[in-house]
Amino acid sequence: MPRPEDVVFPRRRERQEDRRKEGQHRKLLDEFFDHSTLLAVSRLVNRGLFDSVDFPISTGKEGGVFRATLGSEFRAIKIYRVSNTVFRHLPVYALDSLRRESSVKNFGGLVFAWTRREHTILGRLAEAGVRAPHPFGHYRNVLVMEFIGDAQGNAAPRLQDVPIDDPAALYEDVVQQIGRMAREAKLVHGDLSPYNVLYQDGHTVLIDVAQAIPIEHPEAPRLMERDVRNFAKFLGRLGYSVPPEEFLKAVGADMLGPRPAEA
């Protein structure tokens, strides 16, 4: 059985010559992989979900996403920070519903419930045929999911970072994704932006779904409208203008009930 600390960045010793990287990894190890997170990681390794953590793809205030390896395949590992800062950016409606769902009082418990929630939502999206990372498992504050990237192990870029030469095709693609999410998975993303959509082989892949809410939630119409407006703004910057009303209709927003302005 590997020692927990040998699962995370095991190749770091081979990279002794690269002082800068070594220093960065050291810092991340201290920041993200506290003792209980290391134990959670090794528990998932023992369950056979991955062999090792390779390097960070992204690190933020609420958590980090790391590439991991399983045999000849790759996995993505999302680790939520177990500290009070984690939910600073969390929408109040989501936190409320989470408290109700999980009846957890302490903060660590909330983070674990949040991790489980992202896993469950990814599962619902996979069932509904929405392109999103397939979930493989979770434990405490660690989520294991499909790695979105190429066969060489390079993570797919965010929509924000890729040149788009056919915004009309992108619009059709996103309408299909959001529409399927609403009609089949009965969910509204709630934080849709070009930062939370990856671009792989000319298609969008939705990520960062923990805050998604059911279409029957009273906040759903407002969030759907906000998602659509944000995305329409992004398309506008690409030189493609689509009236938000048309966009909303195309994703099936009418089945969400009246939006607050009309209510």
Report, as residue numbers or ranges, the catalytic residues: 191, 208
Please report whether residue 54 would count as binding Mg ion according to CB under 5 A. Answer: no
Distances (CA, A) of 52 to 3, 19, 156, 167, 207: 11, 21, 20, 38, 22
Please report whether residue 58 would count as binding ligand ADP according to CB under 6 A. Answer: yes
Among 37, 115, 196, 211, binds ligand ADP (CB under 6 A): 196
Question: Any alpha helices (H) in 34-166, and if so which ranges?
Answer: 35-46, 92-102, 107-128
Q: How far is the CB of 166 from Mg ion (least distance, A)?
A: 24
The encoded tokens of residue 209 equal: 């779904």
Question: Any alpha helices (H) in 129-197, and if so which ranges?
Answer: 167-183
Q: How far is the CB of 60 from Mg ion (least distance, A)?
A: 7
Among 25, 136, 139, 208, binds ligand ADP (CB under 6 A): 208
Dihedral Cα 148, 149, 150, 153, nearest 10 deg:
-110
Report the length, in residues, of the chain: 263
Cβ proximity of 222 and 216 under 8 Å: no
Q: Which residue is nearest to Mg ion (CB)?
A: 208
Please report whether residue 133 would count as binding ligand ADP according to CB under 6 A. Answer: yes
Among 62, 118, 208, 227, binds Mg ion (CB under 5 A): 208
| 3 state SS of 240 | coil
Cβ proximity of 148 and 205 under 8 Å: yes
Between 173 and 202, how does the x/- string for binding to Mg ion read (CB under 5 A)? -----------------------x------
Between 9 and 48, how does the x/- string for binding to ligand ADP read (CB under 6 A)? ----------------------------------------
Touching ligand ADP, residues 93-132 (CB under 6 A):
none
Please report whether residue 76 would count as binding ligand ADP according to CB under 6 A. Answer: yes
Distances (CA, A) of 76 to 54, 114, 205: 10, 17, 14
Q: How far is the CB of 156 from ligand ADP (least distance, A)?
A: 6
Amino acid identity of residue 115, one-letter, is: T
Site size for Mg ion (CB under 5 A): 2
Q: How far is the CB of 193 from Mg ion (least distance, A)?
A: 8
Nearer Cβ to ligand ADP (23/60): 60
Give 156's contacts (C-beta < 8 A, 6+ positions apart).
Answer: 148, 149, 150, 198, 199, 200, 205
Binding site for Mg ion (CB under 5 A): 196, 208
Binding site for ligand ADP (CB under 6 A): 57-58, 60, 62-63, 65, 76, 78, 133, 145-149, 155-156, 158, 195-196, 207-208
